[in-house]
Chains A and B, each alone.
Chain A
Amino acid sequence: MNLPDMSAHTASVRTFAEWRAAARPWLAAGTPPHAIEWTSPTSLFAAAAPAPAPPDAASDARGRARAPRLPAAAMRLLETLTLYRDEGRWTLMYRLAWRLLNENPRLLEDAADPDVHRAARMESAIRRDVHKMHAYVRFREVVEADGERVYFAWFEPAHEILPRAAPFFVKRFANMPWSIATPDGSAVWRDGALTLLAAPAAAPRDPADPLEDLWRTYYRSICNVARLNPRAMQREMPQRYWRHLPEAGEIASLLREGTQRLAATPARRPAGVSKTTPSR
């Protein structure tokens, strides 16, 4: 077992700002990656390694003065890695920063390097998760006592992306009161202000929105059951999202209908079609 006191230093961090505050003096001192044990406060060793106090202005300024600077693109990448739901992220972030400063300032251009490769995979998982959240959030309309219409959604992203995904909904629905609850917290948009609440939320049980029936009707009608390709569907819309989607309840019966029709016609689906059509 990897005990924290086997490393010279330990840090327990929750956010990018905390990680940066902790990493800066070590990077300035050239502390090698293997000498630091990174954890998140929820992990087993949280008690052993309290989170560093939030950096006050003075120590932050001192840290900045001493710390070597990383290119903006590297900082953006590191900040994105923060969202990845995996204990190893902080360690990888430090190793990348250390190697950029001590080994090769152009390290990130070498996509075949194992650390860069792993970071790139994590980054694309985050990008995909954010994209899927933009796509698969479904709002339900609720009419409040005063007659105002408000919109609620419950969503379970794979990573800790709510702060990254929320601005999209602000831009799109700026004139509509909405909130999105996730197991990691909620985003609430009211009167031109976005509030991010860190408290984990439980799946709400909103009354069904009658418009969902129309949406299901549309979903059924736009599907061409004469040409089923469930694998392409599942690749883009994996089953774990289905519980958020009112239309997903129609999938089984559409598949049944299509299979019956296929059995009734001589034309057979050929082997070899699996990719969806590129849609750009």
Chain B
Amino acid sequence: MELAAKLEVLADAAKYDASCASSGAPKRDSRSGSGMGSTTGMGICHSYTPDGRCVSLLKILLTNFCLYDCQYCVNRRSSDVRRARFSVAEVVNLTLDFYRRNYIEGLFLSSGIIRSADYTMEQLVAVARCLREEHDFRGYIHLKTIPEASAELIELAGRYADRLSVNIELPTGAALAALAPEKSAASIEQTMGVIRVKLDEAREGGRRAPRFSPSGQSTQLIVGAEPSSDADILGTADQLYRAYRLKRVYYSAFSPIPFASARLPNRAPPLLREHRLYQADWLLRFYGFSVAEIGSALVGGQLDLSLDPKTAWALAHRECFPVDVNRAEREALLRVPGLGVRVVARILAARRQRRLRFADLEALGASLRRARHFIRTADFAPANAALGSERLRRALLPVGVQGELF
């Protein structure tokens, strides 16, 4: 098979993985080396596709042949999809050729499981090793870790990769048993556990410890392929963040796949659901919310699709508002719909200079359409403090199709 045809098959097979981040790697560059590549820490999106997603890494499978039969996956053995397999050298050259033209930040390599978990993992590691050792490639490498691969291989993968990930895909053990019979939550979590231990060792060992996946580990959960609720999903995410110190949980709205199993829904869940989960995840990680607090604003275990979760929480907790912009603690300001982390930082700096008035907030970047109902300033208090929540809710619904983050 020609290289272009393989690329077509093996990129197509990789596109259901939402992760494309190239951030978090330690700063390094090619000036002291013989090859090419650098990482800046924040990652770069080199292109965007019409699905709105960032193209940062060459995201491909080494092969889409697979022994497993995960129902949600286009590569499962019972699917009729076209199959292909790259050689190690092909992936290495493609990465270098794309990188050199400034198309990508690096490589995200995953694979179907062929022969055994260890054999597959060995192949992935061979690509990363060749890039790093033979070509002195200093760009970003993300390797998918095959559950049940040996600890030695995982250690080797972590030496070359900036990030490792193991996809748990389904939020409950029961869903996994039903849809991915060869996989088990226990073995996936065990692999995450191995990675976490090595991450901890690398951190505690400081400079002398062997390098291990400096940008940490991540995972992905598919949303809407089975009946798990948002409460289940966020609960699992939160537990994974804590137990394995994940950098990111990606949520991927189930996308009907070609050759789909009859046991899957034949339509996609609203993309808005995925978006709301990301917003809730953001609240967990950067806004000091607990799962229980987000849960207090869920209806039937689901996030409100028509309002962002922070606004939904604020409406359910009117007693916490209005917040005085000139006096409130950072934590309280972060709870105000329409004030993001950066805006709050600006407010804290600006109010050390003088008392803030309502008009100042716009210049500071606040979204007043939402914030105005929940704040007080030197010259302003919300007129609708007594408004029933239902009317306020209607006032807060997004205008037209404009969606909003915080």
B50 partner, pick from A111, A170, A221, A229, beta carbons under 8 A? A229
**CA of A236 to CA of B53, assembled, Å:** 10
- Could you list 11 further interchain pairs (A-B, Cβ under 8 angstroms) beyond the known A112-B356, A135-B44, A272-B306? A111-B346, A112-B361, A138-B102, A211-B101, A214-B94, A221-B9, A222-B49, A228-B52, A237-B48, A273-B271, A277-B275
Q: Which of B54-62, B200-208, B231-239, B385-393 contacts A (4 or more CB under 8 A)?
A: B54-62
Question: Least Cβ distance of A169 to chain B in Å?
Answer: 8
**CA of A265 to CA of B3, assembled, Å:** 33
CB closest chain-B residue, reference A258: B50
Is the Cβ of A215 less than 8 Å from the Cβ of B36?
no
Is the Cβ of A219 less than 8 Å from the Cβ of B55?
yes
Is the Cβ of B29 less than 8 Å from the Cβ of A172?
yes
B317 within 8 A of A: no
B97 within 8 A of A: yes
Residues of chain B lying within 8 A (CB to CB) of residue A280: 21, 23, 42-43, 248
List, sorted by A's number, 14 A–B pairs whose CB atoms are closer than 8 Å. Answer: A110-B349, A111-B349, A135-B47, A174-B36, A214-B4, A219-B47, A222-B49, A222-B55, A229-B53, A237-B47, A271-B400, A272-B305, A273-B271, A276-B53
Is the Cβ of A151 less than 8 Å from the Cβ of B100?
yes
**CA of A280 to CA of B41, assembled, Å:** 10
B115 within 8 A of A: no
Question: Least Cβ distance of A146 to chain B in Å?
Answer: 19
Q: Which of B11-19, B144-152, B183-191 contacts A (4 or more CB under 8 A)?
A: B11-19
Question: Least Cβ distance of A218 to chain B in Å?
Answer: 5
**CA of A111 to CA of B268, assembled, Å:** 43
Residues of chain A lying within 8 A (CB to CB) of residue B33: 174-175
B87 within 8 A of A: no
Q: Which of A6-14, A69-77, A247-255 contacts B (4 or more CB under 8 A)?
A: A247-255
Question: Least Cβ distance of B47 to chain A in Å?
Answer: 6
Residues of chain A lying within 8 A (CB to CB) of residue B48: 232-233, 236-237
Question: Least Cβ distance of A90 to chain B in Å?
Answer: 23
CB closest chain-A residue, reference B268: A267
Take A139-B101, A229-B52 as given contacts and tell me if A175 and B270 are in contact as well, using a CB distance cutoff of 8 Å.
no
B11 partner, pick from A117, A218, A229, beta carbons under 8 A? A218
Take A272-B398, A278-B278 as given contacts and tell me if A225 and B50 are in contact as well, using a CB distance cutoff of 8 Å.
yes
- Residue count of chain B within 8 Å CB distance of chain A: 83
Residues of chain A lying within 8 A (CB to CB) of residue B40: 168
**CA of A113 to CA of B40, assembled, Å:** 32
Is the Cβ of A266 less than 8 Å from the Cβ of B50?
no
**CA of A279 to CA of B44, assembled, Å:** 10
Is the Cβ of A173 less than 8 Å from the Cβ of B353?
no
Is the Cβ of B36 less than 8 Å from the Cβ of A135?
no
Is the Cβ of A222 less than 8 Å from the Cβ of B52?
no
**CA of A47 to CA of B56, assembled, Å:** 48
Within 8 A of B (CB), among A190-234: 209, 211, 213-215, 217-233
Residues of chain A lying within 8 A (CB to CB) of residue B253: 227
Take A222-B11, A277-B278 as given contacts and tell me if A175 and B272 are in contact as well, using a CB distance cutoff of 8 Å.
no
Residues of chain B lying within 8 A (CB to CB) of residue A269: 271
A128 within 8 A of B: no
Question: Least Cβ distance of B394 to chain A in Å?
Answer: 15
A144 within 8 A of B: no
**CA of A237 to CA of B138, assembled, Å:** 26
